[in-house]
Amino acid sequence: MSKSIRAFAPATVANVACGFDILGFSVEAPGDEVVITLTEGKGVSIKAIHGDEGLLPLDTSENTVSLVIQEYLNAIGKPDLGVEIELFKQMPLKSGLGSSAASSVVGVFALNKLLGEPLSQQELLPFAMKGEELACGSAHADNVAPALLGGFVLVRSYDPLDIIELPTPEKLHATIIHPHIEVKTKDARAILRKEVAMSEAVTQWGNVAGLIAGLMKSDYELIGRSLQDVIVEPVRSILIPGFDQAKKAAMENGALGCSISGSGPSIFALSTSQETAEKIGKGMQAVFDAINIESEVYISKVSQDGPKVVS
């Protein structure tokens, strides 16, 4: 058995407009990497975290990767196994790109591989959800499930947990823009209304069903028509200066649809080619440039795959 493994887990777009807390997809890049090493010693330790500008805790009880790994070790009956973690953050924190989810997933995925896969990939999900709970106060699965399983994923139910992997139409590309403003997931959840009107619910579940049908049929027009959120986006978009103009720019440059990525501040748009995805990115970036907000753009196909072993 190999003593060390390096693995990658992707960034994810949660909610996908209409599917608050129940839909997400993964992209091919960016993503986080980890090196997990089995040691002679006892217990979980963190060797180093790179690329986080010192923001992530090195204390194993506060760090999502070590917490998830410890929960996993307890569950497989090896609570004292010596495990060393080296994490390489390759995407911005608190961005709406599923950064904490990628870290939670990559650690437990790598260790499970190193130990000869005592658990299936689906069985790793509840551990990764614990990392999400630690990172942002809520154990939602719409980032961790696609980061772990790849492609589009539906959380049909939280209790009991029922995760449905959906097909990913071949041509789908994502443009994600990360404007440099901070929106904490906790805050972005706290401002949401606790109740919705029946008429809004009808619109929203029509769109969720339409989006799922569009994915199943590779019907890009239907996917586009369904990328609408009448419940969460109108509330959260006020936290993102330039959101309305950026969305308009995305649509004018050929996006099928556009909304907030996860809890923001990143914004995503879907399209059917690399060229259109790039045009959308330029259009959105010009909006943030004009209001003096720095931003970076990520362009990637919507991934068919989840985490992978790098070496």
Interface pick for ligand HSE out of 15, 271, 295, 303 (rule CB under 6 A): 15
Look at the chain and count its residues.
311
Decide if residue 140 touches ligand HSE (CB under 6 A).
yes
β-bridge pairing 23-38 and 4-14: antiparallel
d(CA 159, CA 129): 13
Decide if residue 16 touches ligand HSE (CB under 6 A).
no
In terms of DSSP H, where are the helices of 59-179?
64-75, 99-114, 125-136, 144-149
252 is catalytic: no
132 is catalytic: yes
Decide if residue 262 touches ligand HSE (CB under 6 A).
yes
- CB closer to ligand HSE out of 20 and 298: 20
d(CA 170, CA 223): 13
Decide if residue 21 touches ligand HSE (CB under 6 A).
yes
25 beta partners = 13, 152
Binding part of the chain for ligand HSE, among 38-46, 182-190, 197-205, 220-228 by CB under 6 A, reads 182-190
What is the phi-psi region of residue 270: left when phi exceeds 0, alpha when psi lies from -120 to 50, beta otherwise? beta
Options 37, 132, 168, 233, the catalytic residue: 132
Question: How many residues bind ligand HSE, per CB under 6 A?
Answer: 12
Decide if residue 233 touches ligand HSE (CB under 6 A).
no
Decide if residue 142 touches ligand HSE (CB under 6 A).
yes
Decide if residue 94 touches ligand HSE (CB under 6 A).
no
Read off the tokens for 142.
Answer: 């719409």
What's the closest the beta carbon of residue 192 comes to ligand HSE, in angstroms?
8
Options 168, 175, 185, 276, the catalytic residue: 185
Distances (CA, A) of 213 to 20, 147, 180, 199, 303: 17, 22, 35, 21, 19
Interface pick for ligand HSE out of 113, 171, 189, 301 (rule CB under 6 A): 189
What's the Rg (C-alpha) of the chain? 19
Interacting residues with ligand HSE (CB under 6 A): 14-15, 20-21, 140, 142-143, 185, 188-189, 262-263
Please give the positions annotated as active site: 132, 185
